[in-house]
Chains A and B, each alone.
With several copies, the nearest count.
Chain A
Amino acid sequence: MNLLPTTWTGLLYLFATVCFILALRGLSSPRTARRGNLIGAFGALVAMVTVFLSTALDNVLLILIAIAVGAAIAVPVSHRVKMTAMPQLVALFNGVGGGAAALVALLELRSSSGFGALLAVAFTVLVGAVSFAGSGVTFAKLQEMMTTRPVLLPGQRWLMGASLAAALVLAALVLATGQTWLAAVLLVVGLVAGVLLVLPVGGADVPIAISLLNASTGLAVAASGFVLGNVLLLVGGTLVGASGTILTQAMAAAMGRSVTGILFGALKGGSTAGSTAVSDRPVRSSSAEDVAILLGYAGRVVVVPGYGLAVAQAQHTMAELASTLETRGTEVIYGIHPVAGRMPGHMNVLLAEANVPYEALEEMDQVNPKMKTADVALVVGANDVVNPAAETSPGSPIYGMPILKVSDAQQVVFLKRSMRPGFAGIENELLYEPKTTLLFGDAKESLTKVLAAVKNL
C-alpha cells in the first residue's frame, strides 16, 4: 500500500533505528537488559508495519503466510529450548538471518548498477552464505551432532585457499557483469568457505565463532541496506557488526584466546593435542558422608559450579547446602569462571534463579587469591575451568585460558558422574592428585545426599 508519505516512512524508520540503539544500550546493563530487548522488538514491529503501509507490494498474502510460517517455527522452539541449548539456537537464528541477507542481495542484483551497489551485493552474498553455513556447523557442534573437537580435512589449507581465490574471482566477475547466476555460484562458494572456516574451531571456542559470524551477518545486512537504500537496515546491521566485533574480542579475552588464533590456530597445527582416552590410574572416591564432614568442619568453602550443575538442575540444592553450611559458621563463596557452562554468564543466571545473593558470586580474579585460604574447593560439574592443563601443557586445546586455581585449596572435592572429560575433551590431571576426593553421581543426587549428611552432623 502507499498509505504513508515518504517523509513519514523515513521518520518511522528513524524511530525504529533509535529503538535499536536503545536496545543495545539497554542490553549492556543488567538492570535494563530485558526492557532493552523489548524496545528492540517494538522497533522491529514498527518497522514491519511501516513497510507494509508505505510500499507498493504484490503477493502480500503469500508474504504474510511466509512470515507466519517463520514465526510458527521460531516461537515454539524458542520457548521450549533448554537453557543449555540456547547458544546453538542463537547460532541457528544467526545463520538463517545470514542466509536471508544473501538471498535478498542475490535477487537485488538484477536491479542494481554502479560499482558501489554491485560491490555491496557481492559482499552480502558471500558473507551471508559464509554466516549461514558456518552457523550450521557451529549448531551441529554444540548440539553434539558431530564431534566438538577441531576437524581438519586433508589439505584443509589448500581447500581454504582455493575457495578464497574462487570467491575473489567470482566477486570480480559479478562486479564486471552483474550476472545473477555468477552471484549464485558465489553463494555456493560462500557456503563451502563457511563450513571450512568453522570446522577447525575447537568446541570450547565455538561461542566465539558464533559471535564473529553474528557480527558478519550484521555487516551483510548493513550492505544490503546500502543496496536497497534503506537506512534502517544500514544502521541496524552496522550496529550489530560494530558491537559484535567488540563483543567477540571481549569474549575471546575472557577465555584467554585470540580471535585469529581460534580461526586459524588449528590450520597451523597447534591445538590438535589432547586426548579423549580415559586412563585407568587410581583415584580417590568417597561417600557423601565423608564429603559432608569435610565441608561441615571447614572454615571457608569455595564452590566452583560448571556445566554439570546446569545439566543436573542442581542449583537449588546447591544453594540450600550453602546456606546450611553458613548457619554452621562455614563461609561459602562461589567462584564463577567467565566461561563455565555453555554460555557466558550461564552460572550467574542459574544461581540467580536459585536466589543466591549476587554478593556471594565472585569473579575469577577476585576468588583466585582466596583459594589458598580455602579449606575445601567444591567443584560441582565443572572440569575444563579448573583443569591445570590450561597452565601446564602448551599443546592442549585449552592452553592459555585462565583457570580457577582450585589446587591451591587444602582439599578438592569433585562431584561428577564418571571419569569422562569435559567439553574440551581433555583429561584433567587434578582428578588423580592426592588432595582430590571424587564423589561420583549426578550432581543433584550427590548434593542432596551431602546436604542430608551435613544436617545430621
Chain B
Amino acid sequence: MDGVALLTIFVLAVFVGFEVVSKVSSTLHTPLMSGANAIHGIILLGSVIVAGQADSTWVLVVALVAVVLATMNLVGGFVVTDRMLEMFKGRGGER
C-alpha cells in the first residue's frame, strides 16, 4: 500500500476519532480512556509478526517481551474496562 493511501487512511481516522468522542459525558471519561487504552493494545499484532519473523535470538527475546507487554495491554485493557462498566449495568436494568 503506498504512502499516500496510508496517509489518507490516517487523516480519515483522525476525523473519526475526533468526531466519535466529541459528545461524551464526563461520567464516561474513565471507561472511555480505558477502552481506548485497550484498543492500542492491538500492537500485539505487530509484536507477533516481529517475533514470528525474528532472525536472531536477541531479536526473538526482545520481541517476545513485546508480546507479553502487548498482551497485558490488550487483554487487561478490555477486562478492566468491562469491570468498570459492569457497575453501570444495575442502573440500566432499573430504567
* Interfacial residues, chain A to chain B (CB-CB below 8 A): 7, 10-11, 14, 16-18, 20-21, 23-25, 27-31, 33-34, 36-38, 40-41, 44, 47-48, 51-52, 55-60, 62-63, 66-67, 69-71, 73-75, 77-79, 81, 83, 86-87, 89-90, 92-94, 96-97, 99-101, 103-104, 106-108, 116, 207, 210-211, 214, 217-218, 221-222, 224-226, 228-247, 250-251, 254, 338, 343-346, 348-350, 352-353, 355, 357-358, 363
Contacts and interface: CB of A to CB of B under 8 A. Distances in A.
Contacts of B76: 73-75, 77-78, 89, 93
B35 A104 contact: no
Interface of B: 1-18, 20-54, 59-60, 62-92, 94-95
B13 A242 contact: yes
Q: Which 7 A-B pairs have the closest CB atoms?
A: A70-B71, A242-B17, A57-B52, A74-B76, A10-B4, A97-B73, A344-B29
B42 A31 contact: no
Given A93-B73, A352-B90, A250 B26 contact: yes
A107 B71 CA distance: 18
Among A51, A97, A217, A247, the most chain B Cβ lie within 10 Å of the Cβ of: A97
A17 B40 contact: no
Contacts of B7: 10-11, 14
6 contacts: A47-B42, A70-B68, A100-B69, A107-B59, A254-B26, A358-B95
Nearest to B17: A242
B39 A103 contact: no
B41 to A, nearest CB: 5
Contact of A247 (B5, B21, B54): B21
B92 A40 contact: no
Contacts of B8: 10, 14, 17, 231, 235
Nearest to A97: B73
A7 B62 contact: no
B10 A221 contact: no
Give the interface SS of chain A, mostly helix, strand, loop or mixed.
Answer: helix
A104 B85 contact: no
Nearest to B32: A27
A62 to B, nearest CB: 6
Given A23-B39, A27-B35, A28-B21, A232 B90 contact: no
Contacts of B54: 58-59, 107
Contacts of A228: 46, 49
Contacts of B87: 83, 349-350, 352-353
